[in-house]
Amino acid sequence: MHVPVLYTEVLEALQPKPGGAFIDATLGGAGHASAILQASGPDGRLLGTDADIAAVARCTERLREFGSRAIVRQSWLNETPTLATELGFTKVDGVLMDLGLSSFQLDEAERGFSFMREGPLDMRFDNTKGMSAADWVNAADMPSMAQALRDYGDVANPMRVAEAIYKARPLKTTHDLRQAVLSIARMGRGSRINPATLVFQALRIVVNDELRRLSEAVPKYIDLLKSGGRLAIISFHSLEDGIVKRSFRDAAESESAQFGFGDAQAVREAKVHILTKKPIQPTEAESRDNPRARSARLRVVQRI
């Protein structure tokens, strides 16, 4: 079971109406997607995608009740805009990205996302192709590993942690990685974050190329919105939130240039209004009932 975070806030942000066209680029368990389809009935349409084929299978089943109003496909979120255009989802009313992991992925040891569960060190959203986390740590040189740990996990002493991982090679399981990290990085007194959490986060970002995909995706979705359409993004750590914030700011700014002695001319028009000056965060009650929601940040823009 995956409990959708900021459920009411997402619906308020997207305001799904009958006849609308929507994209959910991170279907997960289709909690948000079914709510959008319900609210946009009887004829609203939704294209739902996820890189994870298990999520695609699950959501195809869950959204079956909506018939041809729901189209479900496997796709990375930065590739979904091209697919959307091919399927006639241009000028859409709303797009949602609810980043990161679903509870299904975290809970399934075989996927290798959680250091709390022993399983193969995999961490691929799309586990049908590409390099697993084990392939990556067993091949990377120490400086690249240290850099990934610093840049994507803000790991303290990244060089020492990289060295410990390097010495423990070959790593096969989540347990192997956790042992290697905890052999040198103990939890500091008063620290709330287990060092293994940050190392796992860094590797997941690398393996799935998450930050590049997100930066590439945001402007593409903005271009797909019709006038008045909205893009809502929920992020779960500061690296994601920083990309969303900067991309929104860029799209909300117009730029003008001075040509010769003439007046300033707009060379780039602003495309969106930012609807969330500060990100929307879960209420205390939501964070208490669903600890996964604690770090969620929702930002929303509206196409001009």
Q: Where are the beta strands (DSSP E) in 207-260?
A: 225-235, 255-258
Which residue, 110, 101, 107, 117, is CA-closest to 51?
101
Q: Please report whether residue 44 would count as binding ligand SAM according to CB under 6 A.
A: no
Which token pair is 72? Answer: 């479900």
Q: Please report whether residue 99 would count as binding ligand SAM according to CB under 6 A.
A: yes
Q: Name the 3-class secondary structure at 237.
A: coil
Give the nearer residue to ligand SAM in terms of CB position, either 29 or 158: 29
Q: Output b/e per residue, 225-262; b: 16+ Cβ within 10 A.
A: beeebbbbbbbbbebbbebbbebbebbbeeeeeeeeee
Q: Distance between CA atoms of 122 and 109, rounded to whole angstroms?
A: 10
When binding is defined by CB under 6 A, the residue of 4, 44, 94, 112 that contacts ligand SAM is: 4
Report the nearest approach of ligand SAM to the CB of residue 248 (Å).
18
Position 268: which residue type? R
User: Interface with ligand SAM by CB under 6 A: which range of 146-154, 208-216, 247-255, 274-282?
Assistant: 208-216
When binding is defined by CB under 6 A, the residue of 73, 169, 175, 213 that contacts ligand SAM is: 213
Q: Distance between CA atoms of 283 and 274, rounded to whole angstroms?
A: 21
- Contact flags string 110-139 toward ligand SAM, x per CB under 6 A: ---------------x--------------
When binding is defined by CB under 6 A, the residue of 20, 21, 22, 31 that contacts ligand SAM is: 31
Give the nearer residue to ligand SAM in terms of CB position, either 208 or 276: 208
Which residue, 37, 29, 165, 48, is CA-closest to 14?
37
Chain CA centroid to CA 150, Å? 20
Give the nearer residue to ligand SAM in terms of CB position, either 4 or 229: 4
Report the nearest approach of ligand SAM to the CB of residue 137 (Å).
20
Q: Name, in order, each residue with C-beta under 8 angstroms of 190's C-beta and a sequence gap of 6 or more.
A: none
When binding is defined by CB under 6 A, the residue of 21, 51, 72, 95 that contacts ligand SAM is: 51
Q: Name the 3-class secondary structure at 97.
A: strand
User: Interface with ligand SAM by CB under 6 A: which range of 12-20, 100-108, 114-122, 136-144?
Assistant: 100-108
When binding is defined by CB under 6 A, the residue of 52, 93, 122, 176 that contacts ligand SAM is: 52
Q: Distance between CA atoms of 95 and 100, rounded to whole angstroms?
A: 16
The binding site for ligand SAM (CB under 6 A) comprises 2, 4, 26, 28-32, 50-52, 55, 76-77, 98-102, 125, 208, 210, 213
